[in-house]
Structure 1
Amino acid sequence: MHNTLIDYINSRVSRSLLPNEIEILKNNFVPHKLKKREFFLQENETSNYMGFLIKGSMKKYSIDSKGTEHILSLYIEGWWVGDRESFTKLSPSSFNIEACEDTDLLVLTKKAADEVFSLPIMNELTRQLDENYSFASQKRINAAISMTAEEQYNMLIDSYPEFSQRFPQHMIASYLGITQETLSRIRSRAVKK
């Protein structure tokens, strides 16, 4: 499992990890398994872990006062998983993070994260991830306020084609903030084209 993380980091930074850096990663990232529907984090808990997804898929969501699930994030292999605010501030989370499939992760505790992210090469990776997250968030907010549901769906599938195979339709609809019926109509029109 650690080799997947090491390959991921090496593919995104300006130089390959050094043997001592690899050792620090291996000593701090711990393998963790979740079964489908098992929670990585539940609302009102403090996030004690951040994870790197090796195998499986997950979702981060909140539930409103009417019991409706609102998906904020969908995760697949090679993505980081967690509630960064809760993890960093040691505050209760507003979100649930749940496995959508049987899942393998490498997890970091807060103490382990402090050691791992003291490595300059990991700061380089963090800057890149933060930039990418910022760009993706801006795109998503702009799409939500200026695009039709069909345009939002097409943008999502163009960006992440595997989502349509990995996540059920009701999860994709929730992620887009539309009803399942609207998504069904959009997909039917796409098939007819």
Structure 2
Amino acid sequence: MNEFNTYLNNLDYSNIKDLCEEKGKLHIYRKKDFFIRQNEIERFAGWVKEGTFQYTYIDEEGEEHIVGYSFTNEFVCDYSSFMKSCLSAVSIQALTDCSVYEISRHDIIEYWETNMETQRSGRYIAENLYEMVYDRLLDSYCTPEIRYQRLMKRCPDLKDTVPLKSIASFLGVTPETVSRIRRKLKK
């Protein structure tokens, strides 16, 4: 699912991946296990060796919204909670059985403070995460059809990996809307 988390596109994150594998501990999550729950403090970041995680946000009315995914060969964590040691805004749950190299905040910060190059790596990750979120904000001003088309162009295999209901939640629309869009695009 290479193009879903676009913050990875312009990064050489091989050193951080290696750090996770060297200093991190391999943890197995079974389907439906939580990596983090909303309103807890994120203590680890992870490199997903295998599997898929879903990020959800529950609003004040108790409505659940899917806000992201992490796939094999990607990072998993609530970055803001992890870096600032504040409450997580999301829950991250395994959609499949997953294996993850988990690394502590202390180990990441120690690595970033090694030299100027590692500090740049940390800054680039933050900048690219910001850009991805900013693009998502701008997408929210487009019609559901355009958002769906952009998502499918970027990640054509997503519809084979996650259910229609989840794609609809991610786009902020109903499953019926996604079905209508799909029918319209087939014509």
- Asked if these proteins are the same fold (TM beyond 0.5), I'd say yes
Name the structure 2 match of 1:42.
37
- One-letter code aligned to 2:88: S
Structure 1 residue 130 corresponds to structure 2 residue 126 = yes
Q: How far, CA to CA, are the matches of 2:153 and 2:123 in structure 1?
A: 25
In the other structure, the counterpart of 1:173 is 168
Give the paired residue count: 176
Per-residue CA deviations over 1:62-97 (Å, capped at 9, x if unaligned) read: 112443211121111222111122112222222111
For structure 2, list consecutive stretches of 5 or more residues without a partner in the other structure: 1-7
| Structure 2 residue 137 is matched with structure 1 residue 141 | yes
Deviates more, 1:84-93 or 1:50-59: 84-93
- Aligned CA RMSD, in angstroms, stands at 2.4
State the shift of 1:49 in Å.
Answer: 0.7
CA separation in 1, counterparts of 2:20 and 2:134?
A: 31
2:41 is paired with a residue whose SS is coil
Q: Which has the higher contact order (CA 8 A, sep 6+)?
A: 2
Contact 2:42–2:87 under 8 Å retained in 1: yes
Show the 5 A alignment for 1:1-193: 12=12, 25-120=20-115, 121-145=117-141, 147-192=142-187
- Secondary structure (helix, strand or coil) at the match of 2:140 reads helix
Moved more, 127-136 or 147-156: 127-136
Using the aligned pairs only, state the percent identity: 27
| Aligned-partner residue type, residue 64 of structure 1 | D
Under a length normalisation based on structure 1, what TM-score does the superposition of the two structures give? 0.80
The structure with the largest alpha-carbon Rg is 1
In structure 1, C-alpha distance between the alignment counterparts of 2:88 and 2:182, rounded to whole Å: 34
